[in-house]
Chains A and B, each alone.
Chain A
Amino acid sequence: MSIIVIKELTKDYGDHKGIFNLSFSVKEGEVFGYLGPNGAGKTTTIRHLMGFLTPDKGTSSILGMDCRTHSAEIMKQLGYLPGEIAFFDGMTGMEFLKFMGEMRELKDTTYRDKLIEQFQLDTSGRIRKMSKGMKQKLGIVSAFMHNPRVLILDEPTSGLDPLMQKTFAELILAEKAKGKTILMSSHSFDEIERTCDRVGIIRRGDLVAAEDIHILKEQRRKTYLVTFDATSSAEEFAKLKCFDDITVNGQRAKVSILGNVSSFVHALSNFTVLDLDTENSSLEDIFMQYYGDSQETSKSL
């Protein structure tokens, strides 16, 4: 059963900004990663789901209810983490959580307190004085504390240190185990990779792919930086056919491989390798890799 359904959603802000004919759905119990560079339309999509915007065309619905007309009803079962969090400045962290709890008519605060502890959130300080990471944690607690069925998270880990990012990934996995449906946007592939089942990639307001994370991982080209003991061995290695692409620069070779790396590792064992390093492919690389052509054409348009 699909919990979040977006059908031919269009919101044209002019100048190719906005979203165009966007359609996808998120099934019950699924964690959907929503990827795209800044300004691609991630937040615009989420604003529609939250009922902040009226679409030019198309519809969006959550739990079978229209997002624009039944938003208050939907919110009973939804947790939301905004991309840019703004609270009531004068309140302390705890006052804010209590206020949001009252607005939701939340009685049971055990889960809230557990989350506060899990994220080591100091709730006594005034929100105005909090660091970005602390505000982000406060937003996370506020989004999860009422144990909603559906979660919409806009760039949830921005501002969090690596340790807290890990805690957050654990939280997502725990919520997934409870059968929650989660849509989270991000511009970092690694963050999505850790937690999501399926990934949708949006570019210029258009969904270019919605794929299973395993398929995406397999298709992902990885780049390795190998330093050999001598220039000659690097050149010799370049003659082998265990990779898709190679560029040699003295002792160092930059090797890119699609999918399985076992033949690459096997070939390497015959050489003296001084250093082996991987180069993380950024989201732009993934775009170039999968949609390089279409990106070029749309640029030239």
Chain B
Amino acid sequence: MFSKSLLKATIKQNYIVFLIILAVMMMYITIIAGMYDPSIQDTLDEMLKMMPKELMSAMGFTSFGNTLLEFISSYFYGFLILLLPMIYTIVVANRSIASHVDRGSMACLLSTPNTRMKIARTQAFFLLVSITLLIGFLTLAGVGMSVILFPGELDIPGFLLLNLGALILYYALTGLGFFASCLFNDTKNSLAIGAGLPVAFLVLQMLSNVGDKTDFLKYFTLYTLFDPEKIVQGEGYILSFIVLFLVALVTYSGGLYVFNKRDLPL
């Protein structure tokens, strides 16, 4: 099913970028959870009103909310969650297939008794597992911090649901990156899609948040399907989850299919 030795080599190749992104996310979630203070929420909201409204809403800050979950959700899950793991997925998805084909090391891999399918499956498996671990550690850190600092304050099921949404979003995003990685011979083209698309999604997401005139842009970004506010309120998110899951399913299996079928310039 998977090649253990390739998996080991891929882990070795990527663990540093994984640890860096994880460390940055841990740092943010810790600081943000630590900043929560129910008594000053009103003051924070006042402060928010003094800032340029467009700038703040571009970053996903509309209100700091009243509960710890709403606070973390608007602070971390509005913008940072879209940016930090994205960097990881861009780097790793491109490395998974395209960079091996581009540099020629894929020739070494395919000169061993492993099918293309097995090699691509192994790389897809690594992407899925590592992004799950990344979001998983983040969730653990978030829950851990809240339990230590504000026992009983965090709506844990709500927080888990929020992270599940983020995880499914990243299954879809890594899927796009993996598909691009399987499709192209050059790192250049793979990155144009695998990195260009998520970054474009992010920019469109920020623009669409700014005001009514740009609101229509939300139809052009995948991030619209991950709406922390709705998830926290616990309504109208199921369809989005399903769509994101389908995107992941189609892109991953599409990537495997094209890589298995196409000509390789090795």
A contacts, CB < 8 Å to B: 47, 50-54, 71-73, 75-76, 78-80, 82, 84-91, 99-100, 102-105, 142-143
Give residues of chain B (78-117) contacting chain A, Cβ–Cβ below 8 Å: 103-105, 107-116
B231-266 residues with Cβ-Cβ distance < 8 A to A are 261, 263-266
Q: Are A75 and B112 in contact (CB under 8 A)?
A: yes
Interface-side segment among B2-10, B30-38, B57-65, B201-209: B2-10
**Could you say which of B4, B6, B112, B115 has the most chain A C-beta atoms within 10 Å of its C-beta?**
B112
Contacts of A103 in B (CB 8 A): 3, 5-6, 109, 112-114
Please indicate the chain B residues that have their CB under 8 angstroms from the CB of A47 in the complex. 264-266
Residues of B with C-beta under 8 A to A78 = 111
Complex CA gap A71/B260 in Å reads: 12
**A54: chain B residues within 8 A (beta carbon):** 261, 263
Ranked nearest first, the 10 interchain pairs of A and B with the lowest CB-CB distance are A86-B104, A102-B5, A103-B112, A80-B111, A72-B115, A52-B264, A76-B113, A75-B113, A86-B103, A82-B107
A to B CB contacts below 8 Å, 21 in the list = A47-B265, A50-B107, A50-B110, A50-B266, A52-B263, A52-B265, A54-B261, A73-B113, A75-B110, A75-B112, A75-B114, A76-B113, A86-B105, A88-B105, A90-B13, A99-B9, A100-B112, A103-B3, A103-B112, A103-B113, A104-B113
Q: Which residue of B lies closest to A106 (CB)?
A: B112
Point out the residues of chain B lying under 8 angstroms from A87, CB to CB: 105, 108
Q: Which of B6, B114, B261 contacts A72 (CB 8 A)?
A: B114
Cβ contact within 8 Å between A52 and B110: yes
Q: Are B263 and A99 in contact (CB under 8 A)?
A: no
Interface centre among A71, A87, A103, A143 (most CB of B within 10 A): A103
For A71, what are the chain B residues with a Cβ–Cβ distance below 8 Å?
A: 110, 115-116
Name the interface residues of B180-199: CB closer than 8 Å to any CB of A: none
Contact of B263 (CB < 8 Å), options: A53, A76, A91, A143: A53
